[in-house]
């Protein structure tokens, strides 16, 4: 007796038995006009370009990083908020 003898036989499924696609299915689908995405279906919506994060490699003093890390999860977001607040209150040129 070989291992194939105990294999479960596959059952053939007629493609004509596929369910009919309802309007709800089409409403949730991505829609394109050429190569441009017009409407997204399920999932996370695209982030507007003005809100996108840019990965950069930067070096901070250890005490600055430690202070933000001590605040727990989300410390990088808080560091970004602190820099954004500084920019509202000061000019970058005054650091020269």
Phi, psi of 26, rounded to the nearest 5 degrees: -70, -35
- Assess if residue 60 is contained within a domain: yes
Per-residue pLDDT tens, the chain, 96 aa: give them. 565 666 777 777 777 777 788 888 777 777 787 877 776 666 677 778 888 888 999 999 999 999 999 999 999 999 999 999 999 999 888 877
Rounded Cα–Cα distance for residues 74 and 70 (Å):
10
Rounded Cα–Cα distance for residues 87 and 60 (Å):
18
Under DSSP, the state recorded for 29 is S
- Assess if residue 71 is contained within a domain: yes
- Assess if residue 5 is contained within a domain: no
| Enclosing domain of residue 69 | 18-95
What is the number of structural domains in the chain? 1
- Assess if residue 23 is contained within a domain: yes
State pTM to two decimals.
Answer: 0.50
Q: Which residues contact 71 (CB under 8 A, 6 or more apart)?
A: 78
């Amino acid at each position: 007796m070989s291992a194939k003898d105990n294999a479960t036989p596959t059952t053939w499924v007629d493609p004509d038995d596929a369910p009919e696609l309802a309007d709800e299915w089409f409403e949730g689908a991505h829609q394109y006009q050429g190569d441009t995405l017009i409407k997204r279906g399920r999932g996370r919506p695209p982030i507007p370009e003005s809100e996108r994060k840019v990965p950069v490699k930067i070096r901070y003093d250890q005490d600055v990083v430690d202070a933000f890390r001590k605040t727990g999860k989300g410390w990088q977001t808080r560091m970004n908020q602190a820099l954004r607040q500084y920019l509202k209150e000061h000019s970058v040129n005054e650091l020269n």
